[in-house]
């Protein structure tokens, strides 16, 4: 069996070595529940991409626990895991000279000239949910970075995964698109009961949109829970080497303010 119908993602005792370096050192996480958006945070090189790629099955790792509900992911290769999860890499592929509509057909493995009514319905549903209708007949290589990001997201979601793993999806986006994508991800997580893990660098985006934060440091999770609690000054100091505090702006929105850098 390669599909799962429910349950949380359970990660425990996760080890991953790349080259000679141990990157994940027995990482344990609290259960990651359906319908929740988790921001994966940590300094450059701490192992965020490694964690996502390990879950996706792209790099070898050992784990005491890597289960989605009752489904043990460990014996499954990347192709088999793709039945339940989708991973969007940090650097998405460049634009292809294909229309957005054709890209979604390719993702569905549908017949190019004579797509089935079901394939057409799935594409229409996806386009309307993500606001892609005006782009369906445009070529991917003519779209902006943010528009392409939405197409990659649509390609991932059209498979109706249970888990979505997104590696720095905001990196190339203007502030408007950053908020658009984060709102969309939060809505999709809740509406489609998805487990969404998003690698972010902007702590304030995490605070605003994520249900919980998972903070990585030295190959392990050092804090996980509601973002305000997980990102306390002690954790921020340990994980990012910054002296930081939470302030409230005039509208009451909490914001993390970094006052200074700490020494190693």
Ligand X SMILES: Nc1ncnc2c1ncn2[C@@H]1O[C@H](COP(=O)(O)OP(=O)(O)O)[C@@H](O)[C@H]1O
CB of 87 to ligand X, least distance (A): 13
Residue with tokens 């594409």: 123
Residue with tokens 């969309």: 184
CB of 206 to ligand X, least distance (A): 15
Taking the least distance from each CB to Mg ion, the nearer of 48 and 186 is 48
DSSP notation for 212-252: EEEEEETTEEEEEESHHHHT-HHHHHHHH-EEEEEEE-TT-
CA dihedral 169, 173, 177, 181 (to 10 degrees): 0
Taking the least distance from each CB to ligand X, the nearer of 34 and 54 is 54
CB of 58 to ligand X, least distance (A): 11
Cβ proximity of 9 and 195 under 8 Å: yes
Taking the least distance from each CB to ligand X, the nearer of 48 and 81 is 48
46 binds, among ligand X, Mg ion, none (CB under 5 to 8 A by kind): ligand X
- CA-nearest of 173, 197, 175 to 185 is 197
Cβ proximity of 56 and 15 under 8 Å: no
Angle formed at CA 42 by CA 37 and CA 43, multiple of 5 degrees:
150
Residue 60 is a binding residue for ligand X (CB under 6 A): no
CB of 89 to ligand X, least distance (A): 10
Binding site for Mg ion (CB under 5 A): 48-49
Taking the least distance from each CB to Mg ion, the nearer of 46 and 135 is 46
In sequence order, the 6+-apart residues with CB closer than 8 A to the CB of 72 are: 66
CA dihedral 15, 40, 245, 230 (to 10 degrees): -70
Helix, strand or coil, per DSSP, at residue 178: helix
CB of 149 to ligand X, least distance (A): 18
Query: What mask of x and - would describe binding to ligand X in positions 30 to 59, judged by CB under 6 A?
Result: ------------x-xxxxxxx---------
Query: What mask of x and - would describe binding to ligand X in positions 62 to 101, judged by CB under 6 A?
Result: ----------------------------------------
Q: Which stretch binds ligand X (CB under 6 A): 17-25, 119-127, 132-140, 231-239?
A: 17-25
Taking the least distance from each CB to ligand X, the nearer of 27 and 227 is 27
CB of 139 to Mg ion, least distance (A): 29
Residues in contact with ligand X by the rule CB under 6 A: 18-19, 21, 23, 42, 44-50
């Amino acid at each position: 069996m390669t599909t799962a119908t429910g349950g949380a993602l359970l990660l425990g005792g996760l080890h991953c070595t790349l080259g000679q370096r141990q990157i994940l050192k027995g990482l344990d996480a609290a259960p990651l529940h359906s319908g929740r958006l988790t921001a994966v945070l940590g300094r450059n090189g701490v192992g965020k991409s490694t964690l996502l790629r390990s879950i996706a099955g792209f790099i070898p790792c050992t784990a005491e626990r890597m289960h989605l509900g009752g489904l043990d992911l460990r014996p499954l290769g990347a192709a088999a895991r793709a039945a339940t999860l989708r991973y969007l890499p940090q650097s998405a592929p460049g634009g292809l000279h294909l229309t957005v509509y054709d890209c979604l057909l390719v993702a569905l493995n549908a017949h190019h000239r004579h797509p089935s009514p079901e394939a057409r319905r799935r594409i229409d549903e996806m386009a309307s949910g993500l606001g892609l209708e005006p782009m369906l007949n445009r070529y991917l290589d003519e779209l902006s970075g943010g528009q392409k990001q939405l197409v990659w997201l649509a390609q991932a979601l059209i498979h109706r995964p249970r888990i979505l793993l997104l590696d720095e999806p905001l990196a190339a986006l203007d502030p408007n698109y950053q908020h658009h994508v984060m709102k969309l991800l939060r809505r999709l997580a809740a509406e489609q009961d998805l487990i969404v893990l998003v690698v972010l660098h902007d702590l304030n985006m995490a605070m605003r949109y994520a249900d919980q934060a998972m903070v990585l440091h030295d190959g392990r999770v050092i804090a996980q829970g509601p973002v305000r609690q997980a990102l306390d000054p002690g954790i921020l100091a340990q994980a990012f080497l910054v002296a930081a505090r939470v302030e409230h702006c005039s509208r009451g929105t909490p914001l993390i303010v970094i006052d200074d850098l700490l020494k190693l």
